[in-house]
Amino acid sequence: MTVTVGVVAVQGDVSEHARAIERAGGGHGLETNVRELRTAGIVPDCDVLLLPGGESTTISRLVHREGIADEIREHAEAGKPILATCAGLILVSSDSGDDRVDTLDLLDVTVERNAFGRQRESFEAPLSVAGLDEQFPAVFIRAPAIEHVGDDVEVLATWDGRVVAVRQGPLVGTAFHPELTADSRIHDLAFFEDEAVRSLV
């Protein structure tokens, strides 16, 4: 069976995510077809969506302008899986504290952009993640932190006392970039590992 994965590609490169998705799906004997999302009309064909990092103000502007934002909302309302990382997490949050990001309000969290300070714009941290046996090498790049977490939101990981990964039903959000190491367990966790999520595909 082939899982169609839509990766928002209005900014930046999607190839690292595509590789991680292929590896994760392959571990379950699933073929994956990665579609790059730059225009409206493709999201309805996708089983799962990935909203990657980048600059959240730019991504927000483009997904709304291209009509992709409404399609992402419909995908979420249908209960289909989404993995949102870094700027993607900011986009799906209920509030980013920044008027320039028109958030989609799919995940009941508020975030603080660039929360880890200028002197630590980029760092790697060994993270304990709920559901993973061994620590995950998490790469943070001008990362947001999750501030307020709603009742239906499960905290998957914290770093430095701050929440950096969450799940709300079929939506997983991470403040870090899970695609930048050869470890595809976060993609697996979000899309393929959870039986309830797999049954939606």
Ligand X SMILES: NC(=O)CC[C@H](N)C(=O)O
- The answer to whether 35 touches 45, Cβ cutoff 8 Å, is yes
28 flagged as catalytic: no
Window 22-51: residues binding ligand X (CB under 6 A):
none
* 141 annotated to a ligand binding site: yes
Q: C-beta of 123: minimal distance to ligand X in Å?
A: 12
- The answer to whether 198 touches 31, Cβ cutoff 8 Å, is no
| Count of positions on this chain that bind ligand X (CB under 6 A) | 12
Catalytic pick from 17, 86, 112, 187? 86
Q: Does 93 bind ligand X (CB under 6 A)?
A: no
177 flagged as catalytic: yes
Q: C-beta of 197: minimal distance to ligand X in Å?
A: 24
Cα–Cα distance measured from residue 38 to residue 71, given in angstroms and rounded to the nearest whole number: 12
Cα–Cα distance measured from residue 60 to residue 109, given in angstroms and rounded to the nearest whole number: 17
Q: Does 103 bind ligand X (CB under 6 A)?
A: no
Quick one: which of 79, 108, 96, 85 has its CA closest to 17? 85
- The answer to whether 2 touches 32, Cβ cutoff 8 Å, is yes
Q: Does 141 bind ligand X (CB under 6 A)?
A: yes
For ligand X, the binding residue among 11, 32, 56, 184 (CB under 6 A) is 56
Q: C-beta of 56: minimal distance to ligand X in Å?
A: 3
Q: C-beta of 2: minimal distance to ligand X in Å?
A: 29
Q: Does 54 bind ligand X (CB under 6 A)?
A: yes
For ligand X, the binding residue among 14, 51, 86, 104 (CB under 6 A) is 86
**Phi and psi at residue 45, in whole multiples of 5°?**
-85, -5
| Residue closer to ligand X, measured from CB, 159 or 192 | 159
Sequence-ordered list of residues with C-beta below 8 angstroms from that of 138, at least 6 positions apart, any chain: 124, 125, 126, 127, 157, 159, 164, 174, 176, 177, 178
Can you give 24-49 as a three-state secondary structure string?
A: HHHCCCCEEEEEEECCCCCHHHCCEE
Q: Does 53 bind ligand X (CB under 6 A)?
A: yes
| Residue closer to ligand X, measured from CB, 25 or 178 | 178
- Residues with catalytic function: 86, 177, 179
Residues that bind ligand X (CB under 6 A): 53-56, 86-87, 90, 113-114, 141-142, 144
